């Protein structure tokens, strides 16, 4: 009911269903592969290498993927990408079954890195085409909810499925979810205005995308900043196990509940934003508020020594950080022209991957030297920088009179 009251768009409904299904498969693979590699290598360093290889793959392929998304139909790119990922997973499973060397599965890091970049770039660009500008804020809320639902289901199922049918079974299910997702994506009806009478070549699209970034440095810089809250979330995943185990002297149950409550907060953020109406002259205020909520939650985690307070803090952190990301995604979709969105999003993702690698490795190294709670203090300082960047952008935006219809 809530969905239909907010967006009466069947195409977006099909997109959300496809997103939940593919998100479930990807989430299971992420959890299953990390556990499998740790089990086989008995080294968390091998898991880190796998994650870094994924990030590098995303960085390397980003410019080419961005040009492709702006050159071809976004729906087609998403469907073809899902099909290629499913086929690649099946082939890698067959090769692994023949040779039984777990290093073969590291090829999946390259596939996942390029596939994730293609998915995020093409799906966000497709969302921009499916929805009108007044629906972007609500649409991004549903996207966040669908992602959290997929990951939540994956978290619950991955351990059970892994114990019964192993990593090959999980990968087979992942491949199947991409195919099933395509069934729903195929139903999407899109006004294909981006690629009609397109006389520019693929390389021209890349050049045009680069020129747009050069000509609009303020918007491009803002686009980079919207990914910093996501980087903060990923970095918090590195801190939490050490924080729970050594700082709070607790166990894996506390870790699991805390992680789950972040997801609950994220879903709650989506529901709140879906059902909220922002006054025209106050659209920027919630962005500042949610940013400050994230900062307060992180500072509280730095000073906290109680398990139950950790639960509340992670729920609030999930609410604030996710709400901030939803609103910022809506803003950037309203600002960047559709014909340039694919390349811009791909480059922002590449920069985000680079930031993620640097921050995660730095914090991971740092909390081994000092107490884990200082990791949250560092993340709070990063969010303060985000707040300053956003304030600068919106003040400049007032003077430049950019119309943000979200």
**Could you give the CA distance from residue 384 to residue 391 in angstroms, rounded to a whole number?**
11
Assess contact for 340 and 70: CB atoms under 8 A: yes
Q: Specify the DSSP element, H or E, that contains 199.
A: none
pLDDT at 1: 44
Assess contact for 14 and 188: CB atoms under 8 A: yes
Closest CA to 157 of 20, 30, 17, 24: 24
Instruction: Give the sign of the dihedral formed by CA 283, CA 231, CA 112, CA 266.
Output: negative
Assess contact for 132 and 2: CB atoms under 8 A: no
- Which ranges of the chain have pLDDT less than 50? 1-4, 279-282, 403-406
pLDDT in tens, 341-397: 777 888 888 888 888 888 878 887 887 788 888 989 999 999 999 999 999 888 877
pLDDT at 386: 92
pLDDT at 4: 47
**Could you give the CA distance from residue 58 to residue 223 in angstroms, rounded to a whole number?**
17
- 109 token code pair: 């890091």
Question: Could you give the domains of the chain?
Answer: 10-186 (1.20.1250.20), 203-406 (1.20.1250.20)
- Measured CA angle at 10 (ends 5, 14), to 5 deg: 115
Residue 249 φ/ψ region, left for φ over 0, alpha for ψ in the -120 to 50 degree band, beta for the rest:
left
CB atoms within 10 A of CB 84: 15
Distance, C-alpha 353 to centroid of its chain: 11
Assess contact for 109 and 54: CB atoms under 8 A: yes
């Amino acid at each position: 009911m809530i969905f239909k009251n907010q967006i009466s768009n069947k195409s977006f409904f099909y997109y959300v269903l496809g997103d939940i299904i593919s998100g479930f498969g990807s989430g299971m693979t992420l959890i299953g592969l990390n556990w499998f590699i740790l089990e086989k290598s008995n080294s968390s360093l091998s898991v880190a290498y796998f994650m870094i290889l994924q990030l590098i793959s995303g960085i390397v392929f980003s410019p080419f993927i961005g040009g492709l998304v702006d050159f071809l139909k976004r729906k087609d790119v998403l469907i073809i990408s899902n099909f290629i990922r499913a086929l690649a997973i099946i082939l890698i499973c067959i090769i692994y079954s023949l040779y039984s060397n777990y290093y073969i599965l590291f090829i999946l890091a390259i596939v996942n890195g390029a596939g994730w970049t293609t998915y995020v770039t093409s799906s966000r660009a497709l969302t921009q085409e499916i929805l009108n500008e007044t629906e972007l804020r609500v649409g991004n809320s549903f996207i966040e909810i669908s992602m959290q639902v997929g990951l939540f289901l994956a978290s619950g199922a991955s351990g059970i499925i892994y114990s019964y049918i192993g990593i090959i079974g999980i990968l087979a299910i992942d491949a199947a979810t991409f195919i099933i997702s395509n069934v729903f994506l195929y139903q999407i009806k899109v006004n294909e205005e981006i690629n009609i009478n397109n006389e520019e070549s693929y390389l021209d699209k890349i050049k045009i995308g680069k020129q747009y970034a050069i000509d609009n440095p303020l918007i491009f810089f803002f686009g980079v900043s919207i990914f910093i809250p996501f980087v903060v979330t990923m970095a918090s995943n590195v801190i939490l196990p050490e924080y729970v185990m050594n700082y709070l002297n607790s166990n894996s149950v506390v870790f699991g509940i805390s992680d789950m409550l972040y997801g609950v907060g994220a879903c709650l953020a989506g529901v709140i934003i879906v059902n909220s109406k922002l006054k025209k002259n106050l659209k920027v205020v919630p962005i500042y508020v949610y940013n400050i909520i994230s900062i307060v939650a992180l500072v509280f985690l730095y000073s906290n020594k109680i398990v139950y307070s950790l639960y509340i803090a992670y729920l609030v952190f999930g609410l604030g950080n996710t709400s901030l990301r939803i609103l910022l995604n809506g803003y950037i979709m309203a600002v960047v022209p559709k014909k340039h969105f694919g390349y811009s999003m791909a480059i922002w993702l590449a920069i985000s991957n680079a930031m993620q690698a640097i921050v995660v490795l730095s914090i991971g190294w740092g909390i081994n030297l000092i107490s884990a709670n200082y990791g949250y203090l560092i993340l709070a300082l990063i969010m303060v920088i985000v707040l300053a960047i956003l304030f600068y952008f919106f003040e400049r935006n007032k003077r430049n009179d950019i119309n943000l219809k979200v």
